[in-house]
A = this chain, B = another copy of it.
Amino acid sequence: MITNKNCIIRLSRYKNSLHRLKTLGFVKVFSDNLADAVGVTSEQVRKDFSLFGITGNKRGGYTVDALTEKLNTILGKDRVQNVIVVGLGNIGTALTKYRGFEKECIKITAAFEADAAKCSRKTAVPILPVEEMPEYIRKNSIKIGIIAVPDVAAQQTADIMIGAGIRGILNFAPISLRCSEDVVINNVNLELELESVIYFVNTMPVTESTASK
């Protein structure tokens, strides 16, 4: 098992770049092409691929179709991944409607919400009472969940999800969640991401090109 998250994120980027190159008519690509598209060195591309036993032909590079298929298999994109969303605030609602997931073989099968007034079984993605979540997870063998509840409810929500069988969580609540080692939690904190942009803008030296604007 490869435990480096950044490596997996790069594999996803290679896959997305391959898709774009294919639409441009590419049949073969070289590690340099992928390196340019993703913004890493070609050594990095070859190193990442070798970790997964993907080898190219020095003269011919990689065949786009074969490489795409291999990356899709590694990333679990050869089958649909069922995912639930918990918490139907602004972010949770946006994720439930987000069309970017579908083309990546990710299907949001249900959303769960504590406020009964927001629940509806008739929407494209059913919005169910949060009390039904454990049973739903067990019945449908759901392994992946997205947390978009307020920070004070996030740890309890995670505990319930994990207790019912969830093994991977994408967490949007602005708090670091605790879990056992056999569960993966990936925290996406929008405030922190924006704060780091603000910090760099405020501390960047003003160069001639920007000062003249």
Where the two chains meet, the residues of A that have a C-beta atom closer than 8 Å to any C-beta of B are 1-2, 5, 8-9, 11-13, 16, 37-39, 74-77, 81, 83, 90-91, 93-95, 97-101, 104, 106, 143-144, 146, 163-165, 167-170, 174-176, 180, 182-184, 186, 188-207, 209-210, 213
Pick 10 A–B contacts, CB within 8 A, sort by A: A8-B195, A9-B192, A16-B175, A38-B176, A76-B199, A90-B97, A106-B195, A144-B198, A169-B197, A184-B197
Task: Establish whether residues A8 and B199, one from each chain, have CB atoms under 8 Å apart when the complex forms.
Answer: yes
Task: Establish whether residues B190 and A100, one from each chain, have CB atoms under 8 Å apart when the complex forms.
Answer: yes
A37 CA to B8 CA, complexed, in Å: 27
> What residue of chain B has the Cβ atom nearest to residue A163's Cβ?
B213
> What residue of chain B has the Cβ atom nearest to residue A194's Cβ?
B170
Task: Establish whether residues B204 and A167, one from each chain, have CB atoms under 8 Å apart when the complex forms.
Answer: yes
Task: Kindly name the residue among A90, A192, A198, A204 whose own CB sees the greatest number of chain B CB atoms within 10 A.
Answer: A198
Give the copy number. 2
Known A-B contacts A83-B194, A146-B194; the reply to A180 vs B201 at CB < 8 A is no
> What residue of chain B has the Cβ atom nearest to residue A208's Cβ?
B182
**Chain B min CB distance to A182 (Å):** 5
Which one of B5, B182, B191, B207 contacts A101 once the chains associate, using CB atoms below 8 Å? B191
Task: Establish whether residues A1 and B203, one from each chain, have CB atoms under 8 Å apart when the complex forms.
Answer: yes
Which one of B77, B182, B198 contacts A76 once the chains associate, using CB atoms below 8 Å? B198
A18 CA to B39 CA, complexed, in Å: 36
A43 CA to B144 CA, complexed, in Å: 34
A188 CA to B91 CA, complexed, in Å: 14
Task: Establish whether residues A205 and B170, one from each chain, have CB atoms under 8 Å apart when the complex forms.
Answer: no
Known A-B contacts A93-B94, A101-B194, A195-B12; the reply to A1 vs B204 at CB < 8 A is yes
Known A-B contacts A38-B176, A104-B195, A191-B100; the reply to A90 vs B94 at CB < 8 A is yes
A200 CA to B192 CA, complexed, in Å: 24
**Chain B min CB distance to A189 (Å):** 8
> What residue of chain B has the Cβ atom nearest to residue A143's Cβ?
B201
Chain B residues with Cβ below 8 Å from A180 are: 209
